[in-house]
C-alpha cells in the first residue's frame, strides 16, 4: 500500500476579497453537457456539482456558460446565463454546493468564434476581425461514426459558419451581457464570478494578435487589444460592488498559432486586468484547434505542470492571487505554494477521476485517491457533443441517480477470476458492499494484460496500483499464482463467480506467422515480462539468459522498473513491423519508438486506434508521424518472410523491411471459462473484455454495474 502524505499548505484556507476558501483546491471549469436542453440547471447538473462540493474542494468553478444563451454557446447542453429564467436552477446549484461548505463561482462566457450552437442554428458568429482559414488535420483521425457528429457543423444550409465582425455597438452590447450575467450570478448566490478571457472565446479573440487585427481602439497595441477585457471588468465591478470577487481566466500562451498570444503579452494584459479590478488570475493557455496535437498542449496540457512557468511569471508581476492549473501533481502543487509561485491549485481531470480528492487530502488519506489515467475520454465526449464521463469513475454524471455503492442485502461468497482493471474493480465494489470476496489471478502480479498497457502508457499503471492497493485495505482474499479451473472453483462452492479473464488473442493466419522473429501480442507481453518460455525460446541464447536473470532478480515484475530499464535494453530489435494499428498496436508503436526503434505499423482497416478517445488518438498519431513512424492503413497483409512483410494497398504490392514482427491483431471476446462454469451449474457472470473487447473504461464501468447489482 502506498503511504499517505500530508500537505499542510494545500489544506490551508485563503481569502479573496472577503471570500474565504477552506483549502487551496479549486475545481477547474469543465463543460459537462449536463444542463437541460433549455439551458437551465436541472437535477443532473445540480447533483453533479453537489457531489464535487461534498468531495471537499474549496472553490467550485461552474463550467463555461453562455451570457447570450441561446446564442454564443459552444455545447448543446450549455448552461444559460442570459436572463432571469435561469435563476431558479442556478440558485439551487449554489444552495446545494453551499450545504457542503464549498464556495462557488460562475464562469461567465461568450464563445465568440467557437459558438458551435450558432453555427447549427445558422446564426452569425461574433468575431473582432475577419478570420484567416486554416485547414484542420483533426478530421483525418476520426472514424466515420465520429465524423457524423460534425456534420451539423456545416450549418442548416450546409455552407459552414457565417461570421459577423463586431461593431462598437456590438462591443457595448457584449459588455452589457457580461454585466447582466454578473448581476444574475450575484442574485443566485454565487460567491464570485470568473470572466473567461481565454481559450479562443470572445475576450481572448480580442486579446490575441493572431485574430484581432482591428484598426480602431480595440485592436493594434497590447493595451488596445486588452480594452474589451478592461471595460468588462470595470463594468462588472460597478455592477457587483466592492465586496464581490471577480476572477479572470486568461491564456498565458497560444500554442501553434502564428502570431498568437505570448507570455509577455499575457503579463501586460494581466496587469491591466489587475488595475481594472480583477481579484485573481487563473493562468491557462490555448492551442490551435486545427492542429490535432495542440489541444493536448493547451488547454488540456499533457506535460505535468506544463503551465507552471506561466503562473510563476504572473505571480512575480502581479500582487493579486494567482491560480495555477494544468496537470498539477500534489507534490508539485504543495511545493509551488510553499515557494510562493501561486496561491490556488485548480484541478480538472484529477477531480473528475476522484471528486473526493480534496477531502482525502484534508483527512491525510492521499493514498486513497483514485488516479486519472490521462486517457482524454472526458473531453473527447464534449468534442462529440456527448455528456461528460470518466474512464475510471463510473459514477461521474450519474450522481442524480443516487447509485451509491450500497450495502448488499445478503452477503455472498464470491470468487472473482482475473486481476485486470475489470476484475479488481468488481472485487473492490463487492467487498465494499459487504460480500466475502476472493480474487484469483494466475500470474504472480496484479494487472493482467493491462500490465502491458501500463508498460506502454505509464498513467495506466497508476490505476492498477491504486486498485491493487485499495484491495489490500479491504477484506479481499487475494490469491496470486492461482489458476481457475472448474474443479478448483467447484471445490470452493461459491455463491457467485465473476469471470474477468480478458480477451483471447489469436494471431490470424498470415503466411510466415510462425517464423522465429514473429511474435503475437501475448508472446510479446510474455517476452517483456519474461513470463513466456515459448516466446523466449525464439530469442538467441544470450538474450534468453538476460531475460531469465532479470526475471530471477524480480526486476521484470515491476512495470515502473521495466519501463525505465527498457530505455537501456529490451529483447526487441531495431527494425520492427507491427501488424495491427488498433489500440494495442499504436500504443506499442509509441512505446518502441520512444525507445529508439524504427517502426512500421500496418493496419488492415481504414482507421487507426479507434478504441482510443479522439483527443488521445490525435495526440499519439501526430507524435508517431512526427517521429517518423510509418503508419499504413488499408494494408492487406500478404506474407511475412525473413526480412520483409509483404502487403498490398489498393492492389499495389509493398514491402516493409523488418528484423522483428509483432502481430497485434485478433483480440476477441472469450467466454470459454464462464461457459464451462455455467455449464457446471455455477452461478457465473462475465465482466469486461472476455465479454466484449473494449478499453479500460468499458471494463471498469461494466464491473461496477455488475458488482453493484449483486
Ligand X SMILES: Cc1cc2nc3c(=O)[nH]c(=O)nc-3n(C[C@H](O)[C@H](O)[C@H](O)COP(=O)(O)O)c2cc1C
User: Applying CB under 6 A, which residues contact ligand SF4?
Assistant: 349, 352-353, 372-378, 390-392
Distance CA 369, CA 357 (A): 6
In the complex, the smallest distance separating the C-beta of residue 400 from ligand SF4, rounded to whole angstroms, is 19
Could you tell me the CA-to-CA distances from 638 to 143, 346, 521, 651, 652 in Å, in that order? 25, 52, 19, 11, 11
**Selected range binding ligand X among 28-36, 547-555, 649-657, 669-677, rule: CB under 6 A:** 28-36
**What is the Cα–Cα distance from 710 to 706, expressed in whole angstroms?**
7
The nearest distance, CB 396 to ligand SF4, in angstroms, is 8
Helices (H) and strands (E) in the chain, counts: 26, 29
Cα–Cα dist 73/85, whole Å: 17
379 contributes a contact to ligand X by CB under 6 A: yes
Based on CB atoms, which residue is closest to ligand X, 300 or 570? 300
399 is an interface residue for ligand X by CB under 6 A: no
- Segment interacting with ligand X (CB under 6 A) among 138-146, 177-185, 321-329, 602-610: 321-329
Question: Choosing among ligand X, ligand SF4, none, which partner's interface includes residue 250 (Cβ < 5 to 8 Å by kind)?
Answer: none
CA angle 545, 547, 549 (to 5 degrees): 70
Mark residues 246-275: x for contact with ligand X by CB under 6 A, - for none. ---x--------------------------
Q: Which is nearer to ligand X, 193 or 426 (CB)?
A: 193
Rounded CA separation 375/387 (Å): 16
Q: Give CA–CA dist 349/378, Å, rounded.
A: 8
Q: Is the peptide bond before 600 cis (omega within 30 degrees of 0)?
A: no
Closer residue to ligand SF4 (CB): 286 or 374? 374
300, interface contact from ligand X, ligand SF4, none, CB < 5-8 Å by kind: ligand X
- Phi, psi of 598, deg, nearest 5: -90, 120
CA dist 439 and 421 (Å) reads 12
CB under 6 A: which stretch of 91-99, 261-269, 343-351, 441-449 binds ligand X? Answer: 343-351
Size of the site for ligand X (CB under 6 A): 24
C-alpha distances in Å from residue 48, one per residue of 60, 90, 96, 108, 518: 11, 13, 10, 19, 50
Exactly one of 250, 300, 323, 429 binds ligand X (CB under 6 A); that residue is 300
Q: Find the part of the chain contacting ligand X (CB under 6 A) among 34-42, 323-331, 624-632, 651-659.
A: 323-331
Instruction: Name the DSSP letter for residue 406.
Output: P
3-state DSSP call for residue 33? Answer: coil
Residue 376 Cβ vs ligand SF4, minimum distance, rounded to whole Å: 5
By CB under 6 A, residue 284 contacts ligand X:
yes
Nearer to ligand SF4, 321 or 422 (CB): 422
CA pair distance 605, 482, nearest whole angstrom: 38
- Evaluate whether 664 touches 657 at the Cβ level (below 8 Å): no
Query: Could you say which of ligand SF4, ligand X, none residue 58 binds, taking C-beta under 5 to 8 angstroms by partner kind?
Result: none
**For residues 578 and 696, which CB has a smaller minimum distance to ligand SF4 in the complex?**
696
- Residue 132 CB, shortest distance to ligand X, in Å, is 24
Copy the grid coordinates of residue 477. Answer: 482474499
Q: If binding is defined by CB under 6 A, does position 294 make contact with ligand X? A: no
Q: Per rule CB under 6 A, is residue 64 in the interface with ligand X?
A: yes
Selected binder of ligand X within 24, 113, 291, 327 (CB under 6 A): 327
d(CA 375, CA 391): 8
Closer residue to ligand SF4 in complex, CB, 246/373: 373
- Would you say 245 or 580 has its CB closer to ligand X? 245
Q: Does 349 bind ligand X (CB under 6 A)?
A: yes
Residue 392's binding partner among ligand X, ligand SF4, none (Cβ under 5 to 8 angstroms by kind) is ligand SF4
28 binds ligand X (CB under 6 A): yes
518 phi/psi in degrees, rounded to 5: -110, 130
What is the full DSSP assignment across 514-556?
TSTTEEEHHHHHHHHTT--HHHHTTS-HHHHHHHHHHHHTTGG
The distance of closest approach from Cβ of residue 35 to ligand X in the complex, given in angstroms and rounded to an integer, is 12
Residue from 58, 209, 326, 371 in contact with ligand X (CB under 6 A): 326
Q: Which is nearer to ligand X, 61 or 700 (CB)?
A: 61
In sequence order, what are the beta bridge partners of 193? 106, 246
Q: At what angle do helices 308-317 and 330-339 cross, to 10 degrees?
A: 20
Q: Taking the CA of residue 241 as centre, how many other CA atoms within 13 Å lie in the half-sphere pointing to its CB?
A: 8
Contact (Cβ atoms closer than 8 angstroms) between residue 110 and residue 94: no
Shortest Cβ 31–ligand X spacing (Å): 4
Q: Please spell the DSSP secondary structure of 679-691, one letter per residue.
A: HTT--EEE-GGGT
SS3 168: helix
Under the binding rule (CB under 6 A), the answer on residue 66 touching ligand X is: no
With CB under 6 A as the contact rule, the residue among 11, 54, 186, 196 that binds ligand X is: 196
Residue 63 binds to ligand X (criterion: CB under 6 A): yes
| Selected binder of ligand X within 44, 350, 517, 525 (CB under 6 A) | 350
Work out whether 388 is an interface residue with ligand X (CB under 6 A). Answer: yes
C-alpha cell at 143: 472514424
The Cα-based distances of 647 to 11, 600, 632, 634 in angstroms read 59, 12, 10, 10
Binding partner at 284 among ligand X, ligand SF4, none, C-beta below 5 to 8 Å by kind: ligand X
377 binds, among ligand SF4, ligand X, none (CB under 5 to 8 A by kind): ligand SF4
Binding site for ligand X (CB under 6 A): 28-31, 63-64, 107, 196, 199, 249, 284, 299-300, 325-327, 347-350, 378-379, 382, 388
Amino acid at each position: 500500500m502506498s503511504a499517505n502524505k500530508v500537505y499542510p499548505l494545500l489544506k490551508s484556507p485563503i481569502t479573496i476579497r472577503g471570500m474565504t476558501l477552506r483549502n487551496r483546491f479549486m475545481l477547474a471549469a469543465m463543460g459537462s453537457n449536463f444542463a437541460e436542453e433549455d439551458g437551465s440547471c436541472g437535477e443532473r447538473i445540480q447533483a453533479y456539482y453537489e457531489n464535487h462540493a461534498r468531495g471537499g474542494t474549496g472553490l467550485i468553478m461552474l463550467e463555461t456558460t453562455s451570457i447570450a444563451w441561446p446564442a454564443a454557446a459552444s455545447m448543446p447542453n450549455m448552461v444559460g446565463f442570459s436572463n432571469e429564467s435561469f435563476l431558479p436552477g442556478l440558485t439551487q446549484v449554489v444552495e446545494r454546493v453551499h450545504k457542503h461548505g464549498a464556495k462557488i463561482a460562475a464562469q461567465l462566457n461568450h464563445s465568440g468564434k467557437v459558438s458551435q450552437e450558432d453555427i447549427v442554428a445558422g446564426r452569425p458568429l461574433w468575431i473582432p476581425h475577419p478570420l484567416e482559414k486554416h485547414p484542420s488535420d483533426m478530421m483525418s483521425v476520426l472514424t466515420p461514426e465520429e465524423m457524423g457528429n460534425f456534420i451539423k457543423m456545416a450549418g442548416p444550409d450546409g455552407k459552414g459558419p457565417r461570421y459577423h465582425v463586431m461593431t462598437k455597438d456590438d462591443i457595448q452590447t457584449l459588455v452589457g451581457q457580461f454585466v447582466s450575467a454578473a448581476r444574475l450570478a450575484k442574485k443566485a448566490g454565487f460567491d464570485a464570478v470568473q470572466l473567461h478571457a481565454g481559450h479562443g472565446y470572445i475576450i481572448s479573440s480580442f486579446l490575441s494578435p493572431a485574430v484581432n487585427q482591428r484598426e480602431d481602439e480595440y485592436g493594434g497595441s497590447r493595451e488596445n487589444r486588452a480594452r474589451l477585457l478592461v471595460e468588462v471588468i470595470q463594468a462588472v465591478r460597478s455592477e457587483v460592488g466592492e465586496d464581490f470577487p471577480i476572477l479572470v481566466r486568461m491564456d498565458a500562451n497560444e500554442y501553434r498559432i502564428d502570431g498568437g498570444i505570448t507570455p509577455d503579452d499575457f503579463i501586460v494584459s494581466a496587469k491591466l486586468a489587475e488595475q481594472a479590478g480583477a481579484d485573481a488570475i487563473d493562468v491557462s493557455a490555448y492551442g490551435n484547434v486545427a492542429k490535432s496535437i495542440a489541444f493536448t498542449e493547451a488547454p488540456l496540457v499533457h506535460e505535468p505542470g506544463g503551465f507552471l512557468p506561466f503562473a510563476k511569471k504572473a505571480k512575480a508581476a502581479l500582487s493579486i492571487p494567482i491560480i495555477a492549473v494544468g496537470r498539477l501533481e500534489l507534490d508539485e502543487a504543495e511545493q509551488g505554494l510553499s515557494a510562493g509561485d501561486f496561491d490556488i491549485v485548480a484541478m480538472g481531470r484529477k477531480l473528475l477521476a476522484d471528486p473526493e480528492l480534496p477531502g482525502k487530502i484534508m483527512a491525510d488519506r492521499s493514498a486513497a485517491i483514485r488516479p486519472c489515467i490521462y486517457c482524454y475520454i472526458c473531453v473527447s465526449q464534449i468534442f462529440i457533443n456527448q455528456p461528460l464521463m470518466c474512464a475510471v469513475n463510473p459514477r461521474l454524471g450519474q450522481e442524480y441517480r443516487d447509485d451509491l455503492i450500497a450495502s448488499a442485502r445478503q452477503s455472498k461468497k464470491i470468487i472473482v477470476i482475473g486481476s485486470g482493471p475489470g476484475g479488481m474493480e468488481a472485487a473492490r465494489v463487492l467487498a465494499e458492499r459487504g460480500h466475502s470476496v476472493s480474487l484469483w489471478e494466475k500470474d504472480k502480479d496484479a494487472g493482467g494484460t493491462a500490465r502491458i498497457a501500463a508498460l506502454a502508457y505509464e498513467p495506466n499503471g497508476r490505476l492498477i496500483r491504486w486498485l491493487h492497493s485499495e484491495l489490500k485495505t479491504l477484506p479481499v482474499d487475494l490469491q496470486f499464482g492461482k489458476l481457475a479451473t472448474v474443479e478448483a472453483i467447484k471445490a470452493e462452492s461459491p455463491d457467485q463467480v465473476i469471470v474477468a479473464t480478458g480477451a483471447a488473442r489469436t494471431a490470424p493466419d498470415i503466411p510466415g506467422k510462425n517464423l522465429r522473429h514473429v511474435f503475437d501480442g501475448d508472446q510479446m507481453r510474455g517476452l517483456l515480462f519474461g513470463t513466456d518460455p515459448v516466446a523466449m525460446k525464439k530469442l538467441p541464447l544470450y538474450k534468453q539468459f538476460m531475460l531469465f536473470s532479470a526475471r530471477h532478480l524480480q526486476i521484470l515484475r515491476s512495470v515502473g522498473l521495466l519501463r525505465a530499464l527498457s530505455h537501456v535494453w529490451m529483447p526487441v530489435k531495431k527494425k520492427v513491423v507491427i501488424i495491427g494499428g488498433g489500440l494495442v498496436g499504436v500504443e506499442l508503436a509509441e512505446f518502441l519508438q520512444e525507445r529508439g526503434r524504427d517502426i512500421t505499423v500496418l493496419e488492415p482497416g481504414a482507421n487507426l486506434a479507434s478504441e482510443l478517445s479522439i483527443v488521445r488518438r490525435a495526440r499519439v498519431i501526430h507524435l508517431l508521424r512526427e517521429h517518423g513512424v510509418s503508419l499504413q492503413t488499408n494494408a492487406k497483409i500478404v506474407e511475412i518472410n525473413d526480412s520483409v512483410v509483404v502487403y498490398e494497398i489498393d492492389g499495389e504490392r509493398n514491402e516493409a523491411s523488418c528484423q522483428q514482427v509483432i502481430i497485434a491483431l485478433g483480440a476477441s471476446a472469450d467466454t470459454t471459462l464462464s461457459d464451462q462454469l455455467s455449464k457446471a451449474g455455477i452461478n457465473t457472470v462475465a465482466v469486461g473484455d472476455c465479454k466484449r473487447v473494449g478499453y479500460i473504461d468499458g471494463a471498469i464501468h461494466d464491473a461496477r454495474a455488475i458488482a453493484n447489482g449483486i
